[in-house]
Chain A
Amino acid sequence: MTTHPPLLAARDLKKHFTIKGGIFSREVDRVHAVDGVTFDISAGETLGLVGESGCGKSTTGRCILRLIEPSSGQIWFQGQDVTRLNGEALRAMRRDMQIIFQDPFASLNPRHTVGGIIGEALVIHGLAKNRHELDDRVAHLLETVGLLPDHRHRFPHEFSGGQRQRIGIARALAVQPKLIVCDEPVSALDVSIQAQVINLLEELQEKFSLTYLFIAHDLSVVEHISDRVAVMYLGRVVEIAPARELYDNPRHPYTEALLSAVPIPDPRLKRKRIVLQGDVPNPIRPPPGCHFHTRCPIAEPRCSQEVPLLERSSEGHWVACHLRR
């Protein structure tokens, strides 16, 4: 999709969760959380990943880091297939890929000091030679994310949500990663704090030439931070395009509907809302053909039979729809 070799490339990534039942705990059903996702991320860019709750965004992010084992597919990172790494190699890879979680309250161990939380990975990967160097690095990291060096002696419960998210960012930065998966990093924060954290993430990206996979369900946040945006529906990517292009010229009917729901910060402007009928279908038995055809305003008979593939619509703009190219 891009001319440079991408930093990260996911190919036909799938994750099925099995549901066991009956007396002998046989597999009775499968949740198709991620159902064949393919995308590239180039070094230094931000790819936004949007979609409704339960569409498999977070699962995709965690599969990339192998925090959840993918069922099939490949994840190429710096020329290595991450899905084949094990033991030592996998732990070494964790230095280059980090994650920032949605919930700043659940993602910090309440029994460890901030210094311990941030410094632990440095010790594990042998990045600090002695106590003194470790202290310096942690203090420096805290300053980088806008906290005070003295905060390292405190415990997470002594901080506010925004501060805790900064601690989470400092923790992810500690090992100098190349890619950071931001799993809805601002969804749990107040709007004013959201802006601060987003700005911090952008500053850090410039300073350390980071690459982000930015998962969110808030389209305006994604538009602001992303270079390109991928839209997911029921475990599949339905559209992927440069951010501006996607917002100005959405091709997929699902993307259109999503964008029409974004509030405009001007009460005089009116926009035609596309209200989708019904609910997201059950991911245990997703509809055949195009997953979206049950709610699609323009669906045709073939949509319920053939699976649409991601196809190029214009430069860098890919759509999975039989009718819109």
Chain B
Amino acid sequence: MSRTYILRRVLIAIPSLLGISLVLYTVLALAPGDPFGELVTNPNVPPEVRIALREKFGLDDPVWIRYVRWLSAMLQGDWGFSFVSRMDVDDLILQRLPTTVAVIGAAQLLAITVAIPIGVLAATRPYSVFDQIANTLAFVGFSLPTFFTGLLLILIFSVQLDWLPFVYRSDVQATGWKWWWEQFRQSIMPVTVLGLFQGAALVRYVRSSVLDVIKLDYVTTARSKGIGEPKVITKHVVRNALIPVVTLVALQLPVVFGGAIVTEQIFRIPGIGSLLISAILANDTPVIMGVTFVFSCLVVAFNLIADIVYGWLDPRIAFR
């Protein structure tokens, strides 16, 4: 893994982020409604004040001027002001982001740790009972949408059994271990719902990828060297089979963030997904712009990570 390789990948990410922000800004500018929309219908606000406000914020300037203004402000750390929450957009996002990243990160981790062993085991015993069960469960898993499994878990574990809280609270009144324990308890259901949904698709993918690799000659070569079967699988099969899986995980991340928006709504998680929904409903344009831009940064970042992991897994890429 060379440093220039990583540097080049980072540099490539900059123009793509600029392009994304331009498209986002243009789409939002063309969409009807803005933060002052409600002022039109509010009889207590005189028209002069409304026009003065619009002029002050430059809302009637051409789109490209407004974009350049937004971009230069954003680069200087000014992400705008949320008229609904009455605070700066960057503060608002920074407040919400850790929760989302924690939930999605934990869910991805769960998906990977569940899917890889199951997929590999299923592929090493194709058409066995274990394989059939794993396949069926995986199929059921990714056929059920998260809003359904989420509600089902809430019904069982919160309403019927009363084991877990069904509203995710950001203001847990505890310190030390107790705080971590509460965080853990309230994360169980959303992380499980998201993680198993992701993991189900991943199991099928890992399985077919391992099946492709396991019949290749170099695996037979490894066996003929006298290497034990477990080591053949881990050293020669899994490492090669994971390459397409890494691509899948990276390319699915936008989908995961999308799925997280739904899950955040169900479990009332105060993450940026629910922030985005409420911002859209309230026409809070600066927040929408900020959140979607953060989403795209995350997606670009994870693609970058995938590229780096890819290089580690496949030397043919790393040294180019």
**Contact B240 A92, beta carbon cutoff 8 Å:** no
Task: Give which listed residue, A91, A101, A175, contacts B221 with CB less than 8 A.
Answer: A101
Per the bound structure, the CA–CA distance linking A110 and B241 in Å amounts to 12
- Decide: A94 near B226, CB < 8 A? Known: A109-B240, A110-B240: yes
**Contact B225 A121, beta carbon cutoff 8 Å:** yes
Contact mask for chain A residues 110-133; partner B; CB cutoff 8 A; 1 contact, 0 none = 110100000011001100000000
- Decide: A106 near B218, CB < 8 A? Known: A111-B315, A157-B316: yes
Q: Which residues of chain A come closer than 8 Å to B227, judged between CB atoms?
A: 91, 120-121, 124
A46 contacts B by Cβ under 8 Å: no
B308 contacts A by Cβ under 8 Å: no
**Contact B221 A92, beta carbon cutoff 8 Å:** no
Per the bound structure, the CA–CA distance linking A111 and B216 in Å amounts to 13
Minimal beta-carbon separation of A62 from chain B (angstroms) = 8
**Contact B217 A103, beta carbon cutoff 8 Å:** yes
Q: Which residues of chain B come closer than 8 Å to A107, judged between CB atoms?
A: 217-218, 220-221
A65 contacts B by Cβ under 8 Å: yes
Within B30-47, the residues touching A (CB, 8 Å) are none
Contact mask for chain A residues 152-192; partner B; CB cutoff 8 A; 1 contact, 0 none = 00010100000000001001000100000000000000000
Minimal beta-carbon separation of B212 from chain A (angstroms) = 12
Q: Which residues of chain A come closer than 8 Å to B228, judged between CB atoms?
A: 91
Q: How large is the interface on B (under 10, 10 to 19, 20 to 34, 35 or more residues)?
A: 20 to 34
**Contact B315 A67, beta carbon cutoff 8 Å:** no
Per the bound structure, the CA–CA distance linking A168 and B225 in Å amounts to 12
A3 contacts B by Cβ under 8 Å: no
The interface residues of chain A, by DSSP majority, are classed as: loop
Contact mask for chain B residues 290-313; partner A; CB cutoff 8 A; 1 contact, 0 none = 000000000000000000000001
- Decide: A92 near B226, CB < 8 A? Known: A108-B221, A111-B239: yes
Minimal beta-carbon separation of A25 from chain B (angstroms) = 7
Minimal beta-carbon separation of B27 from chain A (angstroms) = 43
**Contact B316 A99, beta carbon cutoff 8 Å:** no
**Contact B315 A94, beta carbon cutoff 8 Å:** no
B66 contacts A by Cβ under 8 Å: no
Contact mask for chain B residues 193-237; partner A; CB cutoff 8 A; 1 contact, 0 none = 000000000000000000000001110111111111000000010
**Contact A99 B222, beta carbon cutoff 8 Å:** no
Task: Give which listed residue, A65, A103, A109, A155, contacts B224 with CB less than 8 A.
Answer: A65
Minimal beta-carbon separation of A250 from chain B (angstroms) = 33
**Contact B220 A67, beta carbon cutoff 8 Å:** yes
- Decide: A109 near B236, CB < 8 A? Known: A67-B220, A101-B221: yes
Q: Which residues of chain A come closer than 8 Å to B314, judged between CB atoms?
A: 110-111
Per the bound structure, the CA–CA distance linking A110 and B227 in Å amounts to 18
Query: Nearest CB to that of B127 among chain A residues?
Result: A25
**Contact B240 A111, beta carbon cutoff 8 Å:** yes
Which of A108, A121, A175 has its CB near the most chain B CB atoms (within 10 A)? A121
Within A54-73, the residues touching B (CB, 8 Å) are 62, 65, 67
Q: Which residues of chain A come closer than 8 Å to B220, judged between CB atoms?
A: 62, 67, 99, 101, 107
**Contact A109 B313, beta carbon cutoff 8 Å:** no
Per the bound structure, the CA–CA distance linking A51 and B54 in Å amounts to 87
- Decide: A94 near B217, CB < 8 A? Known: A110-B316, A111-B240, A157-B316: no
**Contact B240 A124, beta carbon cutoff 8 Å:** no
Query: Nearest CB to that of B220 among chain A residues?
Result: A67
Per the bound structure, the CA–CA distance linking A120 and B226 in Å amounts to 10
Within A14-52, the residues touching B (CB, 8 Å) are 25
Query: Nearest CB to that of B219 among chain A residues?
Result: A109
Per the bound structure, the CA–CA distance linking A200 and B44 in Å amounts to 96
Query: Nearest CB to that of A99 among chain B residues?
Result: B224
Task: Give which listed residue, A106, A121, A157, contacts B226 with CB less than 8 A.
Answer: A121
A95 contacts B by Cβ under 8 Å: yes
Minimal beta-carbon separation of A179 from chain B (angstroms) = 12
Q: Which residues of chain A come closer than 8 Å to B240, judged between CB atoms?
A: 109-111
**Contact A98 B224, beta carbon cutoff 8 Å:** yes
**Contact A155 B226, beta carbon cutoff 8 Å:** no
**Contact B221 A125, beta carbon cutoff 8 Å:** no
Task: Give which listed residue, B127, B222, B223, B226, contacts A109 with CB less than 8 A.
Answer: B222
Per the bound structure, the CA–CA distance linking A103 and B221 in Å amounts to 11
Q: Which residues of chain A come closer than 8 Å to B224, judged between CB atoms?
A: 65, 67, 94, 98-99
Per the bound structure, the CA–CA distance linking A155 and B227 in Å amounts to 21
Q: Which residues of chain A come closer than 8 Å to B239, judged between CB atoms?
A: 111
Per the bound structure, the CA–CA distance linking A207 and B220 in Å amounts to 27
Q: Which residues of chain B come closer than 8 Å to A93, judged between CB atoms?
A: 226
**Can you name 18 extra interface pairs (CB under 8 A) apart from A106-B218, A110-B316, A168-B221?**
A67-B220, A67-B223, A91-B226, A94-B226, A99-B224, A103-B217, A106-B217, A107-B221, A108-B221, A109-B221, A109-B222, A110-B218, A111-B313, A113-B315, A120-B225, A121-B226, A121-B227, A175-B226
28 CB contacts below 8 A, A to B, read A25-B127, A67-B220, A91-B226, A91-B228, A92-B226, A98-B224, A99-B220, A99-B224, A106-B216, A106-B217, A107-B217, A107-B220, A108-B218, A109-B222, A110-B218, A110-B315, A111-B314, A111-B315, A120-B225, A121-B225, A121-B227, A124-B226, A124-B227, A125-B226, A155-B315, A157-B316, A168-B221, A171-B225
Residues of A at the B interface (CB closer than 8 Å) are 25, 62, 65, 67, 91-95, 98-99, 101, 103, 106-111, 113, 120-121, 124-125, 155, 157, 168, 171, 175
User: What 7 pairs between A and B have smallest CB-CB spacing?
Assistant: A94-B226, A121-B225, A107-B217, A106-B217, A91-B226, A109-B218, A155-B315
